[in-house]
């Protein structure tokens, strides 16, 4: 069974996220360890790391993942953006190492004018550099599947196998599958048969063992629309069954299933209740 969780605000300090997640009955959570809309971040202070550990120990949270800043584009063909992105990702890796977080979810990026082949090579070089610059650190980078709009990488699972091959399947490279993004990118998962086909494609391109996080979101837009519009579970185009199949899929035992559904309407409470209901069914 997967662990149930959602994206939790770390406003007022990262340690505060635990009590918010506990209040919702989460088993896992995703946070931003810093203001994700700024390039600059300050280092983690020792007291802050200690407070984070203490709060974690007292909480029911089994797994924490970080989502990297949306500004980061390690595929960029612009030298300055690329340099800033690589530095920001290294900072985030160090922050997570200090906080005891093992996994960072990262959008693979985009190359405005370049061919995807070049952009994928740049992503691989950026990650290679990161792994070399942070030796002894086990923090993984989870590249996230995207809706495939415009020049964004990661709409096609084959992009990830190209990167994996270039990095010789380094143990620090792993993946996050977003159900809404994958569906918008054209992958079906609505029936038991299409779900199984989808998982076998994941296995073929990246290996199910390399999936360390799921983003569980329904999708407002139709399959293959390439439009990234998250919906409440069961209320979008993906519907009920895919989430029920996923939540009970033993190939992903212990992997966090993180909600990034809208905060309006049934909100986190409603979507978490949906996950609890379908899990074990």
CB of 158 to Zn ion, least distance (A): 20
Please, which of residues 90-149 interact with Zn ion by CB under 5 A? 144
In angstroms, what is the minimal distance from the CB of 228 to Zn ion? Answer: 4
| Alpha carbons 225 and 223: distance in angstroms, whole number | 6
How many residues interact with Zn ion (rule CB under 5 A)?
A: 2
The reply to whether 218 sits near Zn ion by the rule CB under 5 A is no
State which residue, 27 or 228, has the beta carbon closest to Zn ion.
228
Residue 27 or residue 144: which is nearer to Zn ion going by CB?
144
- Which 29-58 residues touch Zn ion, going by CB under 5 A? none
Main-chain phi, psi angles of 100, to 5 degrees? 80, 20
Q: Which tokens hold the place of 126?
A: 């950026």
**CB of 59 or CB of 198, closer to Zn ion:** 198
Q: Are 143 and 173 in contact (CB under 8 A)?
A: yes
Nearer to Zn ion, 136 or 150 (CB): 150
164/244 Cα distance (integer angstroms): 29
Structure tokens at 260: 């990034």
* Helix ranges (DSSP H) in the chain: 17-23, 46-58, 79-99, 116-133, 157-166, 179-184, 192-205, 241-247, 267-278
Task: Output the residue with the shortest Cβ distance to Zn ion.
Answer: 228
Q: Give the pairing of strands 211-216 and 256-259.
A: parallel
- Residue whose CB is less far from Zn ion, 17 or 55: 17
Among 27, 228, 235, 268, binds Zn ion (CB under 5 A): 228
Site residues (CB under 5 A) for Zn ion? 144, 228
């Amino acid at each position: 069974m997967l662990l149930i969780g959602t994206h939790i605000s770390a406003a007022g300090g990262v340690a505060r996220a635990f009590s918010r997640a506990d209040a919702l009955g989460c088993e896992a959570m995703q946070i931003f360890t810093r203001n994700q809309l700024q390039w600059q971040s300050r280092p983690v202070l020792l007291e802050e790391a200690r407070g984070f550990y203490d709060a974690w120990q007292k909480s029911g949270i089994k797994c924490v993942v970080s989502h990297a800043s949306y500004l980061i584009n390690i595929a960029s063909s612009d030298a300055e953006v690329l340099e800033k992105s690589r530095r920001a990702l290294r900072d985030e890796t160090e922050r997570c190492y200090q906080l005891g977080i093992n996994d960072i979810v990262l959008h693979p990026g985009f190359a405005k004018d370049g061919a995807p082949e070049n952009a994928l090579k740049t992503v691989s070089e950026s990650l290679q550099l990161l792994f070399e610059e942070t030796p002894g650190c086990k923090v993984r980078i989870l590249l996230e599947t995207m809706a495939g709009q415009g020049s964004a990488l990661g709409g096609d699972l084959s992009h990830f196998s190209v990167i994996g091959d270039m990095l010789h399947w380094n143990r620090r490279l792993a993946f996050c599958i977003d159900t809404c993004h994958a569906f918008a990118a054209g992958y079906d998962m609505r029936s038991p048969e299409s779900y199984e086909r989808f998982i076998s494609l994941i296995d073929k391109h990246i290996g199910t063992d390399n999936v360390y996080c799921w983003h569980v979101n329904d999708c407002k837009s139709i399959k293959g629309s390439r439009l990234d519009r998250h919906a409440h579970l069961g209320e979008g185009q993906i519907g009920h069954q895919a989430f029920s199949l996923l939540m009970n899929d033993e190939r992903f035992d212990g992997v966090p299933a993180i909600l990034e559904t809208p905060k309006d309407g049934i909100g986190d409470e409603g979507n978490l209740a949906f996950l609890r209901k379908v899990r074990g069914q």
